[in-house]
Structure 1
Amino acid sequence: MYEKVSRLDRLRSVREWLVWQLRRTDDTIAELERQEIAAARTARTLPSVTPGWKLATRRAGGKPTPDAVHTSDCGMAGKNTKPLAREQALRAITEDGVTVCPYCRPDTDLGVL
């Protein structure tokens, strides 16, 4: 049956398929461009993120005790953490004697040196 179709008809079929593929590719490119524009617009309108802090705790005698203060993006804090406001982080470091992480140095962001 394949031999009964002329070469010209086969080429037209291939051309139609290529046009369809090109249309799909153009649609995908247009969608990705829209997503990039939306992401850039969102990045421009979002306020800058101020560094947050978190308190890492450890279990001592079955009761969690403060271990160290970390910046919110520090990966060294471990799993047992709780978020802290600026004032809480300052109090933990200056009044409660909680140590600071030697890697992320939250005391630098807090202005405590």
Structure 2
Amino acid sequence: MWVGLIDQAIADLKRREAEREEGQRRRPPPPEWTIEHALGGPHLLIAVHTGDCWLLHHAKRMRAVDRDTARQALADGVEACGFCRPDTALGMID
């Protein structure tokens, strides 16, 4: 009886691990660039971030953008994140 319970527990653990790995494999890659916007809407831009900025885990109002949009936002005066420095990554400053 105990052997059957242990075998079932092992099988369940293996199944859960396989499901977790499949979820990791299917997860879309992070965006290259993101723009943080204010509570008032996506047209009120706060800062440009790289896609792997650690602040993205804490911010709720972000949208993914392409390289040109990120460069244009910085050129238009949107602040660059002080942690991930997208302006440096985009080659806009040294």
Aligned counterpart, 1:25? 6
> Which runs of no fewer than 5 residues in structure 2 stay unpaired?
none
Bigger proportion of residues as helix: 1
* CA–CA distance in structure 2, aligned partners of residues 50 and 36 of structure 1: 23
Partner of 1:69: 48
Contact 2:32–2:67 under 8 Å retained in 1: yes
CA pair 28-90 structure 1, distance change in 2 beyond 3 A = same
Q: Which structure 1 residue ranges, 5 or more long, are not aligned? A: 1-19
Q: Which has the higher contact order (CA 8 A, sep 6+)?
A: 2
Using the size of structure 2 for normalisation, the TM-score is 0.60
What TM-score comes out, normalization by structure 1 length? 0.53
5 Å matches for 1:37-48? 37=18, 39-40=20-21
Matching residue of 1:82: 63
Aligned mates of 1:56, 1:48 — CA distance in 2: 20
C-alpha distance in 2, partners of 1:31/1:66? 47
Distance (whole Å) between structure 2 residues aligned to residue 42 and residue 65 of structure 1: 34
Q: Deviations over 1:27-68 (max 9, x none)?
A: 12123224435655776x669936432212236xx6752211
Q: Which residue of 1 aligns with 2:33?
A: 53
Question: Alpha carbon RMSD of aligned pairs, Å?
Answer: 3.5
Deviations 1:8-27 (A, max 9, x none): xxxxxxxxxxxx23311211
Which structure has the larger Rg? 1
How many residues are matched?
90
Question: Given residue 12 of structure 2, which amino acid in structure 1 is its aligned partner?
Answer: E
Sequence identity percentage: 32
Change (3 A) 1:21 1:39: same
Distance 1:55 1:30 in 2: 44
